[in-house]
Amino acid sequence: MSAVREVLTRAAATLTEAGVASPDFDAAELLAFVLGTTRSMLIVSPPELDGDRLAAYDDLVRRRAEREPLQHLTGVAAFRHVELAVGPGVFVPRPETELLAGWAIEQAQQVISTGSTDGVVVVDLCTGSGAIARAVADEVPEARVHAVELDESAHGWAERNLAGTGVELRHGDMATAYDDLAGTVDVVVCNPPYIPLEAWESVAPEARDHDPHLALFSGDDGLVAMRVLEQRAALLLREGGVVGAEHADVQGESAPAVFAATGRWHEIRDHVDLAGRARFVTARLAR
């Protein structure tokens, strides 16, 4: 067994014992980060491991075993076709959210395909790191993309990730954001906080101990932010505009019910992720 394989095997065992969900992947990702290469090249062309690099790697593995997020250790998070800077003070974008971003991108592209003379306007509420807004701007460059974030630290990360993209970023509350765009928006997209306060103990340590609580918890039933989103989307969207929002996998009925209860929406639909779990709700403004 090569030195690299031995190091990876030992690190993966440490991470497994610590309860890390993807020990082999994380062990390889951290070693590639330390060595300035890729996971695949670790095996194809194993680099030399000197004492300093091995010590740096061992320190990162220790921190990951203490459940510090992998993306905080490397400083980056991949999201669809873009790479985001992340770290303490911002919610790390999850792979599941790429599906919601993909939906928003498809909706924006559909508006463009109709030949609308006004173009397409997309608003990303609770943008966090700027992940969804950045993905939409990247894949639909014709879109006019707006994003808002309340948390000061997260807003700083969004500024960094959205610089030079053309996205118009604001620092503020989604409940009052974009009065100036009322009735003109084609797509509203949001990854709001949706964890019930009572579910504190069930949240993975990576999120509970490192993500901003403002981005995680949303009242006793986890739907406080969803109700605010419903109201704001109704104000912002043009007639026939669409809204999409991520939710917890146990909210596959309760999240759509927030929209159904108001009578303002039709085509209310819930969508599952690649594991078949309820993941995000979409609706079209009916007024």
Tens-digit pLDDT profile for residues 1-53? 468 888 999 999 999 999 998 999 999 999 999 998 888 888 777 777 788 88
pLDDT, residue 26, reads: 93
pLDDT at 216 over 90: no
Residue 66 dihedral angles phi and psi, to the nearest 5°? -85, 5
Residues 143 and 15 in one domain: no
73 lies in some domain: no
Residues 130 and 272 in one domain: yes
Average pLDDT of span 139-148? 97
Rounded Cα distance, 188 and 237, in Å: 7
Rounded Cα distance, 20 and 12, in Å: 9
pLDDT, residue 200, reads: 45
Place of tokens 């929002």: 245
Rounded Cα distance, 255 and 236, in Å: 19
57 lies in some domain: yes
Residues 263 and 208 in one domain: yes
pLDDT, residue 39, reads: 84
82 lies in some domain: no
Residues 47 and 111 in one domain: no
Rounded Cα distance, 155 and 248, in Å: 23
Rounded Cα distance, 20 and 23, in Å: 6
Select from 34, 66, 98 the last residue of a domain. 66
Rounded Cα distance, 129 and 69, in Å: 15
Residues 94 and 199 in one domain: yes
Residues 62 and 94 in one domain: no
131 lies in some domain: yes
CB atoms within 10 A of CB 25: 14
pLDDT, residue 1, reads: 40
pTM for the complete prediction?
Answer: 0.85
Residues 204 and 127 in one domain: yes
Residues 248 and 153 in one domain: yes
74 lies in some domain: no
Closest CA to 129 of 187, 81, 169, 176: 169
Residues 215 and 155 in one domain: yes
Domain count within the chain: 2
pLDDT, residue 79, reads: 96
Provide the mean pLDDT of the chain: 88
More confident residue, 246 or 89: 246
Q: pLDDT class for 283, splitting at 50, 70, 90?
A: very high
72 lies in some domain: no
Average pLDDT of span 127-148? 97
Q: What is the pLDDT of residues 150-193, one digit of tens each?
A: 999 999 999 999 999 999 999 999 999 999 999 999 999 999 87
Print the domain residue range for 98.
89-285
Here the CATH number for the domain that contains residue 223 is 3.40.50.150
In terms of average pLDDT, the best of 67-81, 106-120, 129-143, 273-287 is 129-143
114 lies in some domain: yes
